Chain A
Amino acid sequence: MTDVSFQNQAQEAEASLGDYFALMKPRVMQLVVFTAVVGLLAAPVGVHPVIAFASILFVAIGAGASGALNMWWDSDIDGVMRRTAKRPIPAGKVTPDEAKVLGFALSGMSVMMLALSANLLAAFLLAFTIFFYLVIYSMWLKRSTPQNIVIGGAAGAFPPVIGWVIATGSMTIEPWLMFALIFMWTPPHFWALALFMKSDYDDAGVPMLTVTHGRTSTRKHILVYTVPLVILAVGTAFTSIGGPIYLATALVLNALFLKGAYDIWSRTEAQAEADEYKVEKSFFRLSLWYLFLHFGAILIEALLPATWGIWT
């Protein structure tokens, strides 16, 4: 082997720190951190800031670890799909084995550290979330059923429950309302993405609803799943984690969301192609704001000193 060939080989094989960080799906981690923080602050029990910071950090690391494990398992299809082709493994920056080792090591570390910083129940929930995302969603559902993201969405819905349990050490109905909000939001969000990421899932052979039931059926599914989401999201306003600010936010967002879902349902594929999926793309963008602002409103309600009227 010459110096030059050795050098080139090494250059391809060695990843930077940023490549390992990208394995942890930083954008998903942002959502996990935000919803877990909201769950923690919405809980009726105060937590020392250092314990809260450390615990949320370990939840973020656990979420990142499950992202790395997902990338290890899905590295074959990630290379086929346009949306994921630049991820570190298909891009040749990190090997699948490295992602696997990093994912398992960080999973173990984050769960153990969360048990020490918070409590065993929170640690168990984090471990279950990682297990759910890797085994139930990535390994089992994703490639076998069009219900993949419906059930798999539970993995992304656990962080506010974990946040709540970090503070209280026990379970009540309120964190499960936040769980349900993310769980019900996930299908319309991903199906809108599947509509305008046209050939990605077809090429990869992932049985997304668009592939198995067609696009017209997917449009109908978005509307059908949006209706119970709207009822749940507005209804949450009248629980102890809701309030007037949350109600106002929920009414506006859900009216927009319902209109978006109706618009998607009422148009044909030809119309969508003609304007390059304008409505689907704007619905997808709205869905991101939808979740962020609902949790933002829960956070504001939690930080307000007192409640009034029907919320007392």
Chain B
Amino acid sequence: MSIRAEHEIHQRRKGRNIGVGLMLAAFVVLILALTFVKITSGDFEMPRIEEGQ
């Protein structure tokens, strides 16, 4: 009996990997959006460089 190339377990694993990949991509987009909002909001200040340094 030959081993089936695409077993149900492979489909499940593939689905899980795609799901994790999409979640990571969404997380990156969210962090990007958060960063953009934080640095463009009025109360954001760059750290000041001390004089004499």
**A residues neighboring B (CB under 8 Å):** 3, 7, 10-11, 14-17, 48, 50-51, 54, 57, 116-117
25 contacts between A and B (CB under 8 A): A7-B7, A7-B9, A10-B9, A11-B9, A14-B9, A14-B12, A15-B16, A16-B12, A16-B15, A16-B16, A17-B15, A17-B16, A17-B19, A48-B37, A48-B41, A50-B33, A50-B36, A50-B37, A51-B34, A51-B37, A54-B30, A54-B33, A54-B34, A57-B30, A116-B34
Task: Tell me whether chain B's interface is mostly helix, strand or loop, or mixed.
Answer: helix
Residues in chain B near residue A16, CB distance under 8 A? 12, 15-16
A-B pairs with the 5 shortest C-beta distances?
Answer: A17-B19, A50-B37, A17-B16, A50-B33, A16-B12
Q: Using CB atoms, name the residue of chain A closest to B16.
A: A17
Residues in chain B near residue A57, CB distance under 8 A? 30
In the complex, are the beta carbons of B3 and A3 less than 8 A apart?
yes
Residues in chain A near residue B24, CB distance under 8 A? none
Residues in chain B near residue A116, CB distance under 8 A? 34
The answer to whether B48 has its CB under 8 Å from any CB of chain A is: no
In the complex, are the beta carbons of A50 and B16 less than 8 A apart?
no
Q: How far is the CB of A57 from chain B (nearest CB, A)?
A: 7
Residues in chain B near residue A14, CB distance under 8 A? 9, 12-13
Interface string of B5-42 (1 = CB under 8 A from A): 00111001101100110000000001001101110010
In the complex, are the beta carbons of B34 and A117 less than 8 A apart?
yes
